[in-house]
Amino acid sequence: MPTAPRTAPLPGRRPRPHRGGRWGEHGLAWAFLLPSLVVFILFIGYPLGRTVYLSGHANDLFGAPSRYVGTKHYTDLLGSADFGRTLGTTALFTLLTVVPGVFGALVLVLLLENRIRGVRLLRSAFALPFAFSVASASVVFAVFFNPASGVLNGLLSHVGLGPVGWLTDSRYALVSVAVTTIWMNLGYNVLVLSAGIGSIPGEIVEAARIDGASGLRLARSITVPMLGPNLFFLTVVSTVHALQSFGQIHILTKGGPDGATRTLVYSVYEKAFAYNSSDFGMASAQAVVLLVVVLACTAVQFGVLERKVHYA
Amino acid sequence: MTTVVSETEAARPRTRVLAGRSPRDLLGRAAVYLLLAVAVVTVAFPVYYAIAGAFMDPSELSSYPPALVPHSVTGRNFAGAVDTIPLARQYANSAITATAITLAQLFTSILAAYAFVFLPLKARAVVFGVFLATLMVPWEAIIIPNYLTLSDWGLGNTYFGLVLPFLASGFGTFMLRQSFRQLPGELRDAARIDGAGHWRFLWRIVVPLNKPALAALSIYVFLSAWNQYFWPLIITRTANMQTLQIGLTSLRDSEMADPGLILAGVVLSLLPTLALVVFGQRFIVRGLTAGAVR
């Protein structure tokens, strides 16, 4: 509908705003950005610098930096078998949560694509864990894992299997924490992938169906490739989340038994805050390692993501 | 199983050929339903058990083998949980903290997103790059200096300490910017012709027209703030300043560590988030996937 008599909208760029003058609008822009920038500088920018600063300093018993030690904390970490184990545990935990978490959610949403009755109800049921916080999910699983009164060992005893120390046996502890994590993230994963499936154009699926594709064939040739970007987004987010996991470890195992669930983040916490340790220097060095690991993972994944987008 | 399939086909004749009637297809369909049933039970069981257990008698919960269905419903666990930790106070702490963070992030993100979309800015790309860069920094890696800063300011164990670092968000700005950009440019021109300045245009036109995105952001921010764990754990010291999430942990770590009390605490802590997830799912999905379509 042409609105001819009015001052016709200029083609291309919008007319330059002039009210209050150019400087006035520039000033307004900065004024609008200022609150956010202040928060970022105080609580992200400055702490980044201070973390690096602290990592180069020894500290007294109360955590105040005492003298410059250069890269000593980092060389100590490199030579420490304990820290090597911490990194290994972090990697294993990431693998144990990301791969089954993403794959499991994918299987669930694909199953739901089979013209199931009551899809909406089922989808909501799968999204339920999303309402759980890290703390609430962890304490519920702590009740399950309880060696004496927990449901898990109760069910095992029905089939004649002995009680398992889910959180106290170093063979099972990390897996138990990972299972808790997978469960609490499942709702999020299902929501993201369902949204992705919902945005696949119906004609494509319909065309494939008319060509006789169904079930596995449809999933393999159409749905999964079309979900590519969503799967990748989910993998990136899950990896970063896994690397940052803290609450479930703090609640379920406190890094134990005997360090079996001590991940990088938990190690930072222990050095800085647990048992009145206040070893901020060493903790900060580990925090820098964490920062580098997370950034590297994100960068690598985004590199791959970019290539995927080009292919699509 | 057979009847289910034939009904579905009757309802959707077009799919008749595809769903098929061969025994192999029927078997496939049965497998799909079976797998889904197993998955639903597995996923929903912890939710069910948390709720059922919260109403079970302590003797029932600790019976061996454990009961799965409460024989008699009791409210004792809830009373016990309230006795063990200052639950009402911690509930209020969580509500105050999460609400303050949500309102503040909405405000700062709206302003920043408006500046990026509707105002002239020389260093736009650089400043926007800074906002995006904040998303990459894992909070856990900078938590030590933030703890030291707020302690130095004397804000440890206070509401300000709980809230201050989270008053702005690169994610919120990014999400709202995506949404504001969808508005036709003519709107701003029309508003200017009507004599509306930026402030008026922002609150009278832009904000009302972007309600879905703002709702999505609010729900997302509120949920994350309500569920925070690491920061409230270290910045609070007394039970009266702790948030509900930390209170749950102290229930678990308390002398008795009674499963009934723990589950009652969980059920109470779930009320607001469950309501948000059930009634706001449409918005949540929008918020969650905002990052997926950059």
Contact call for A33 and B111, based on CB within 8 A? yes
Q: Over range A213-227, report the average pLDDT.
A: 77
Provide the shortest C-alpha distance from residue B98 to chain A (in Å). Answer: 13
CA distance B32 to A289: 45
Identify the pLDDT of residue B287: 64
Phi, psi at residue A58, to the nearest 5°? -75, 165
Identify the pLDDT of residue A157: 77
Q: Over range A26-51, report the average pLDDT.
A: 94
ipTM for the complex shown: 0.84
Provide the shortest C-alpha distance from residue A190 to chain B (in Å). Answer: 10
Between A31-40, A68-77, B91-100, the lowest mean confidence (pLDDT) is in A68-77
Identify the pLDDT of residue A200: 80
Question: What is the model's pTM?
Answer: 0.84
- Tell which of A16, A140, A234, A291 to mutate to test the B interface (max B CBs under 10 Å): A140
Q: Is A144 on the interface with B (CB under 8 A)?
A: yes
Identify the pLDDT of residue B64: 62
Most confident of A115-119, A289-293, A297-301: A289-293
- Tell which of A36, A44, A269 to mutate to test the B interface (max B CBs under 10 Å): A36
Pick from B43, B111, B289: which is nearest to A128 by CB? B43
pLDDT digits (tens, 9 = 90+) for B200-257: 899 988 999 988 889 889 988 998 899 999 999 999 999 899 999 998 888 877 656 6
Residue A42 has pLDDT above 90, yes or no: yes
Residue A10 has pLDDT above 80, yes or no: no
Residue A133 has pLDDT above 80, yes or no: yes
Q: Is A101 on the interface with B (CB under 8 A)?
A: no
Residue A302 has pLDDT above 60, yes or no: yes
A285 vs B23, which has greater pLDDT?
Answer: A285
Residue A266 has pLDDT above 90, yes or no: yes
The beta-carbon contacts of A37-41 under 8 Å, at least 24 apart in sequence, are A37/B127, A37/B130, A38/B168, A39/B108, A39/B165, A39/B167, A39/B168, A40/B130, A40/B131, A40/B134, A40/B168, A40/B170
Identify the pLDDT of residue A183: 94
pLDDT band at A258 (very low <50, low <70, confident <90, very high): confident
Give residues 169 to 228 of A whose Cβ lies within 8 Å of B.
183, 186-188, 191-192, 194-196, 209, 212, 214-215
CA distance B123 to B115: 12
Question: How many of the other CB atoms lie within 10 Å of CB of B122?
Answer: 10
Identify the pLDDT of residue A78: 86
Contact call for B141 and A157, based on CB within 8 A? no
Residue A222 has pLDDT above 80, yes or no: no
Positions of chain B with pLDDT under 50: 1-19, 291-294
Identify the pLDDT of residue B4: 41
Pick from A19, A111, A283: which is nearest to B197 by CB? A19
Identify the pLDDT of residue B131: 92
Give residues 118 to 137 of A whose Cβ lies within 8 Å of B.
122, 124-137
**What 3-state DSSP class applies to B21?**
coil
Beta-carbon pairs below 8 A across chains A and B: 298
Q: Is A296 on the interface with B (CB under 8 A)?
A: no
Q: Over range A173-195, report the average pLDDT.
A: 90
pLDDT band at A12 (very low <50, low <70, confident <90, very high): very low
Task: Report the DSSP beta bridge partners of residue A59.
Answer: A65
